[in-house]
Amino acid sequence: MTTKRTGRSATKSASSLRPHVLVMHGPNLNLLGSREPRHYGLATLDDINRALAGRGETAGAHVETFQHNHEGALIDRVHQAARDHVDFIVINPAAYTHSSIALRDALAATAIPFVEVHLSNIYARESFRHHSYFSDLAVGVVSGLGAHGYELALEYALRHLQNRTPHGSQKTEKAH
Ligand code: DQA
């Protein structure tokens, strides 16, 4: 019998203190730029991803981006992230926010900390968008700040990961 490791039990290799962040985009976000700009703005997904990758480079982090329209592909990507020892996920689950217990379970199974991002303010829209299957598991939620929300989430992730000690625990943050 073979066993697959999908949890966070494996320790990272010596070279791996370089922060590794995965930015995930759910269905229809490939259409950003032309899709309902009054909700989602004019930035394309490429614009957003390029800005995030650039920020990652400046910070000496490995920032990967992934978009898919299919639930299973997103779930598989989360499993892959655990095998790759991804440290942090920034995710806009898009419409799966409101429907996907399976994607939620994948994030719970891997226990990779994540921030949930929405371009639009989901609480100012239709009531079916007010419930998220992710928010209670997320470290935090950014909603309504457009593409800037991804940058803020990445900034948080980088800062959080810079506070790591070589043994993977967090330094205690000083109160200001
Ligand atoms: C979204 C909000 C969701 O309700 C919607 O289904 C999306 C995008 C956002 O970024 O504002 O596709 O996640």
In this structure, what CATH number is given to the domain that contains residue 50?
Answer: 3.40.50.9100
Q: Give the range of the structural domain holding residue 157, as residue numbers without chain letter.
A: 18-162
What is the reported pLDDT for 124?
97
The SS3 of residue 160 is helix
121 and 148 in contact (C-beta within 8 Å)? no
Lowest mean pLDDT, pick from 10-19, 124-133, 146-155: 10-19
In a domain, 66, yes or no: yes
What is the reported pLDDT for 164?
76
What is the reported pLDDT for 163?
82
- The residue nearest atom 12 of ligand 1, judged by CA position, is 94
Q: How many domains does the chain have?
A: 1
What pTM did the predictor assign? 0.88
143 and 118 in contact (C-beta within 8 Å)? yes
Task: Give pLDDT tens digits for 35-63.
Answer: 999 999 999 999 999 999 999 999 999 99
**31, 97, 115, 117: which to mutate for ligand 1, most atoms within 8 A of CB?**
97
* Enzyme catalytic residues: 40, 118
In a domain, 6, yes or no: no
In a domain, 167, yes or no: no
Write down the mean pLDDT value for the chain.
89
In a domain, 121, yes or no: yes
What is the reported pLDDT for 36?
93
The SS3 of residue 159 is helix
- Higher pLDDT residue, 3 or 97? 97
What is the reported pLDDT for 6?
40
- The CA distances from residue 56 to 1, 15, 33, 159, in Å, are 39, 17, 23, 12
- The CA distances from residue 48 to 69, 116, 121, in Å, are 17, 16, 18
Taking the CA of residue 94 as reference, the ligand 1 atom at the shortest distance is 13
- What is the CA(95)–ligand 1 centre distance, in A? 6
78 and 107 in contact (C-beta within 8 Å)? yes
Q: Tell me how crowded residue 78 is: count the other CB atoms within 10 A of its CB.
A: 24
Task: Give pLDDT tens digits for 26-41.
Answer: 999 999 999 999 999 9
Helical residues (DSSP H) of the chain, grouped into ranges: 37-40, 45-59, 71-83, 101-110, 148-162
- What is the CA(81)–ligand 1 centre distance, in A? 23
In a domain, 12, yes or no: no
